[in-house]
A = this chain, B = another copy of it.
C-alpha cells in the first residue's frame, strides 16, 4: 500500500525556483573575466537562466544531450548550471587545466553538442575547436563588447546575445527525477578519464545533505565564496545548496591568489568559503605577511585532499576561523563525510577538539561506509584497524558513463581506493590511498601521516611520501620535499623531526629535496610520477 502524499520529482530547477520566490533579492556577486565586480539577484539570475534555456532549445539542444563548459566560477556559469540541467539536458563541466589532448578526448567521449567558455580559455578552445568531433556550437561567455575581434572558431556565438534574443517566459519542464543532470570526469592519474553522470534525484538529495547543520551548515544569513571550481564536482554542490537555503554567493572568477581572495572576502562579507588546501596556503601566506585578520569569515571548508594539521591550527587559533574538514569523491557528488564535533567534544580543549576535526569526519546521513581487510572481511570501528574504505548511498556512483571500466562496485559497495580507520563515534581517518600505501615487511605504513609530519616542519613547503623499493623490507617510505624559499634544511634535521612523532620504524629511510612536486589538474600531488622517478632510490643506495 502506497502513501498518499503528492508525487513531485526532485528536480534541480526547483532549487532555483525556490531561490527566486523566497530569496529573490539575495545577491550573487562575481569577479568577472572582464575585470569588474558584478552583482545580480537570484530573481534576475533565474530570469536569465530561463532566457538561456530558451536559447538552448533554439540551438537544438535536446533532453539528455551534453552541453559543455570551460569556465571559472561566475554567475554566467551558474546560469548554465540551471538552464542546461533544468531544461533536461546534461551539463558537462570540462576542466580547463587539462591538456588539450585530454579536453578533446573527454569532449568526444561525452559527445558534447555545445561548448560555453570564458574568454580566458579562448586559446585552449581555439586549440581544440578543429579537433573535437561533436561540438557544433561555440559560445563565448561574455557580452558583445568583449567578443574577440577575430577568432579561429567558426560562427562563434556570444552569451549575452543569446540571453538578449529570448524572453523569460519559459516554464521549467517536469520530468523523471532519475534523468541525468550533469557529468564530471574524474581526474584519474592512470588510465583514461571516466565520466560520472549525476541525476536530478542524486543532486537534490546531496544538496539536502550538505546544507545540514553537521555538514556545510548553510543558511540564508550566510555569504558563501566557493573557491573550489565549478568544473570540479559542481563546486562541491554549493551553487545548489546556496539556492536551497537562499545564501548569498560570491564567485572569485580567475582571481585565486591570496590577495584577490582576501579582498573579496572582506568586501563582500563572506562567512563561508570552500576549497583545496593549496588555495588556503596562498591565502594564509598573504594574510600572515600583511598582518591581516578576517572580519566576517567564520568557517572554511577544506577538502579535495587532506588538510595539514598545521593549516587547521593556523586558521583556528591564529584567525578564529573554524575549519570544516570534509571528504568525498567525484563518484560521491562529492560529499561523504564532514569532521564536525559531537556534543561530548564541546568540553574538550581546543587541541583535543582539533584532533577530531583533523579526521575526515563522520558520514552525512545517506552515506554508508565500511572498511574491509585484504579478504574483504569487514573490520571493526575501533579507530585502529585500517582497511580499504567502501561506500554506498543515493548520491554514490553505480557505474561510469557508457559503462567505462565495467562495474566499479563490489557487492553493491563502491571501493573508494582509500585506506582508512573508523572510530567508535564514526569518525573516519584516511591513512592512505590504497595505491600509495607502503608495505614494509608485511606491515602497512600510511604515507599521509608521514607527509603531515613533514608539513608541520616550518621549513617545509610541500612533502610527498612514496613507497620506494627495498631489498630487505620490500618497500620503505621515501620523503620527497620542497623546502620553503631561503631556508636551510638537511636530510638529518628533517628525519630527526620525526622522532617522538611517530613509531620509529615508520620514519622515512631517506629524503629527496626537489624544486617542485608535480600536481594534477585538480591540484593533487601526482605520486605515481614520483614513484616512477624515485621508486628505485633506496635500491641505488644499496
Contacts and interface: CB of A to CB of B under 8 A. Distances in A.
Contacts of A5: 197-199, 201-202, 333, 394-398
B365 A245 contact: yes
A473 to B, nearest CB: 37
B401 A4 contact: yes
Contacts of A324: none
A334 to B, nearest CB: 12
A457 to B, nearest CB: 34
A527 interface: no
Interface in A367-384: 368, 381
Given A8-B392, A213-B211, A343-B223, A3 B197 contact: yes
Contact of A399 (B4, B393, B424): B4
Given A208-B209, A219-B214, A6 B392 contact: yes
Residue from A64, A209, A398 having most chain B Cβ neighbours under 10 A: A398
Contacts of A225: none
Interface in A145-177: 176
Contact of A1 (B64, B211, B244, B400): B64
Contacts of A363: 18, 22
A310 to B, nearest CB: 26
A519 interface: no
When all copies of this chain in the complex are counted, the total is 2
Contacts of A217: 213
Contacts of A365: 14-15, 18, 244-245
A346 interface: yes
Nearest to A212: B211
Q: Which of A6, A201, A342, A393 is most buried by chain B, counting CB atoms within 10 A of its CB?
A: A6
A437 to B, nearest CB: 25
B397 A6 contact: yes
Contact of A220 (B63, B196, B199, B340): B340
A5 B367 CA distance: 13
A394 B2 contact: no
A350 to B, nearest CB: 16
A7 to B, nearest CB: 7
A8 B426 CA distance: 21
Interface stretch (A49-57, A178-186, A251-259, A492-500): A178-186
B394 A199 contact: no
Nearest to A396: B6
A332 to B, nearest CB: 9
B218 A25 contact: no
Contact of A219 (B15, B213, B222): B213
Interface string A477-507: 0000000000000000000000000000000
A293 interface: no
A193 interface: no
A174 to B, nearest CB: 11
Contacts of A21: 368, 381, 426
Nearest to A216: B213
A342 B401 contact: no
A4 B331 CA distance: 10
A394 B362 CA distance: 28
A157 to B, nearest CB: 25
A365 B340 CA distance: 24
B424 A24 contact: yes
A508 to B, nearest CB: 35
A90 interface: yes
Cβ-closest 4 pairs across A and B: A3-B199, A22-B426, A1-B64, A208-B208
9 contacts: A2-B180, A3-B180, A3-B200, A3-B201, A6-B392, A7-B394, A220-B341, A221-B341, A223-B343
